Amino acid sequence: MIEWFFIGRPNVGKSSLLNRLLGDRIQIVSNIPGTTIDNVFRRVNDSVTLVDTRGIESVKQLEEFLNLTGCRYVCLILEAPTGISSLELEFLKLLLRKKVKTVLVFNKSDLGSLGNLEYRSIPYFYVSAKTGEGILQLKEYLLPRDASFVSKKSLTISLVGRTNVGKSSLFNLICQRQLATVSPKAHTTRDFLEYYVRYHGMNIRIFDCAGFKKGIKKTQLEAYVANRVSKAIEFSDVISVVISAEDGVTTLDKKIMSLISKRAKRFFVVVNKWDLANGAQTKDFIKAIPAFVSVIFTTALKQSSSTKILSTAIKIWEWSVDNQELTDLVNKVIQSFPPPLLGSKLNDLLGVRFECDTIFLKFKNNKAVPQNYLRGLKNRVLNELFPGNIKLDLRLKLE
């Protein structure tokens, strides 16, 4: 697997360029230097991954970065109107000295002519992330034509939750790499951080998402972060809601779970930092979390946490039930918990259907079925469906 790291000074357009290459607005883009904090891995195909990085402002910082990541392939992003600055020449010399395969990419070519270029033996491209000029040529160079695109069905898991509950630590643990910046300072993660792992022969795509924060100032950048987390909910197969054992189940935690539930997404709860629970009991957390939502207790300091998260997500994702099995089960429950009578006759159940994690019921007279009966029926049906540790909060509606 070749990993092309997009490296350069702050605000030279690394994120915009990666967006243009991938044909989607994946990376957060703004004119604020330092918007990108983490190294963000975007797997393009079975052979190539593109990596967006934070801006580098000194040779020492670049050397530390190279030693930390061990990267062997670099796209050095520069600005076309100004060419190579003295600092960027020092960057290039360091890359060559460390024998890193380097490509020079002059971005913003729509703003001016290409500056003077030394080291002409090094591959270089001048492009515009804004207009798309030169992007096709750069893409053909970075991405082998015979590379098979990632098309195998894989499970996508997103880690979501409030700020500073340990999502990034869990993400690093699962990926077994220091991909996300971990800091006690809230709101460190702004981007989607994506990585692929293999677990029990399965391809699993993991996303670490920017945290929800109550009362956060609605600047344009922060509003975009919130929108991107909502997008994560849409394209995820299973969502892991991470909460802090140190803080307990907060009102915002409950709002996040409600948001996911309303979108009919499968999710489970990870109570992280269990080593800091301050004497709290598991039952205290389970009582505060909606019934029929799986809950696991972890600490990001233990490797077993990643196994718990992945195995739980797979079981929840793979769970299914056919209509006949569900019909038999609902009829069994109704025998012990019959619906209200229509006069002196039973309000017969005429049909059961399961679609999009919703159980649809059709009675002889739906209007005669009160909501409190449906709630009781749902609880009894789910108790029959999920007698073990794995639970799923399915919806029940009248058709």
Q: Which percentage of the chain shows pLDDT scores above 90? A: 22
Q: Of the ranges 42-46, 350-354, 367-371, which one carries the lowest mean pLDDT score? A: 42-46
Check residue 313 and give its pLDDT: 93
pLDDT of residue 322 exceeding 80, the answer is yes
230 versus 274: the higher-pLDDT residue is: 274
Residues 93 and 7 in one domain: yes
**Pair 314, 328 in one domain:** no
Q: How confident is the model at residue 24 (pLDDT cuts 50, 70, 90)?
A: low
Please report which confidence band the pLDDT of residue 214 belongs to, taking 50, 70 and 90 as the band edges: low
Residues 181, 282 within the same domain: yes
148: in domain: no
pLDDT at residue number 315: 92
* Residue that terminates a domain, selected from 318, 349, 364: 318
Is pLDDT at 361 greater than 90 in this prediction?
Answer: yes
Q: Residue 90 and residue 375: Cα distance in Å, rounded?
A: 68
- Quick one: pLDDT at residue 241? 92
Q: Is residue 259 part of a domain?
A: yes
pLDDT reported for residue 220: 55
> How many structural domains are present in the chain?
3
350 Cα distance to chain centroid: 41
Specify which residues 268 forms β-bridges with.
240
CATH of the domain at 279: 3.40.50.300
CA distance 297 to 233: 22
Domain assignment present for 187: yes
Of the two residues 104 and 33, the one the predictor is more confident about is: 104
CA separation for the pair 55, 36 (Å, rounded): 8
Sign of torsion, CA 100 98 9 216?
positive
The more confidently predicted of residues 385 and 205 is 385
My answer on whether 97 and 229 are in the same domain is: no
pLDDT at position 192 over 70: no
Lowest mean pLDDT among 35-44, 48-57, 123-132: 35-44
pLDDT given for residue 344 in this prediction: 79
Pick from 103, 45, 44, 51: nearest CA to 78: 103
**Residues of the domain holding 366:** 323-398
Pairing of strands 349-355, 358-363: antiparallel
Statement to judge: residues 199 and 328 lie in one domain: no
For residue 333, pLDDT over 60 is answered with yes
**Phi, psi for residue 257 in degrees, rounded to 5:** -65, -40
For residue 219, the model assigns a pLDDT of 57
- Whether 52 maps to a domain, the answer reads yes
Quick check: 189 and 167 in contact, CB under 8 A? Answer: yes
246, 179: one domain: yes
> Are 231 and 192 contained in the same domain?
yes
Per-residue pLDDT tens digits for 120-177: 578 888 888 888 888 888 888 887 654 444 444 578 898 988 888 888 888 888 888 7
Position 149 in a domain: no
| pLDDT, tens digit, 9 for 90 and up, residues 363-399 | 999 988 999 999 999 999 999 998 777 899 888 999 8
Q: Which residue, 142, 165, 189, sits at the end of a domain?
A: 142
Domain co-membership, 273 together with 181: yes
Residue holding tokens 């233990």? 302
Angle of helix 167-175 relative to helix 304-318, nearest 10 degrees, comes to 90
* Domain presence at residue 150: no
pLDDT the model gives residue 188: 42
Same domain, 240 and 308: yes
147 in a domain, yes or no?
A: no
124 & 172 share domain:
no
- We report the CATH number of the domain holding residue 350 as 3.30.300.20
**Backbone region of residue 52 per phi and psi (left: phi > 0; alpha: psi in -120 to 50; beta: other values):** beta
The terminus-to-terminus CA distance of the chain in angstroms comes to 50
Mean of pLDDT over the chain: 80
What's the pLDDT band for 224 if we cut at 50, 70, 90? low
208 and 335 part of one domain: no
Query: Which pLDDT score, from 0 to 100, does residue 243 have?
Result: 93
Q: Is 371 helix (H, G, I), strand (E, B) or coil?
A: helix
pLDDT digits (tens, 9 = 90+) for 231-262: 667 778 899 999 999 888 988 888 888 888 87
Cα 362 from Cα 368, distance rounded (Å): 11
257 and 173 part of one domain: yes
- At 296 the pLDDT is 93
Q: Residue 211: is its pLDDT beyond 50?
A: yes
Q: 79-88, 105-114, 119-128, 314-323: which range is least confident on average?
A: 105-114
- Domain end, chosen from 318, 338, 357, is at 318
Q: What is the dihedral of CA 171, 174, 177, 178, to 10 degrees?
A: 30
Amino acid at 100: V
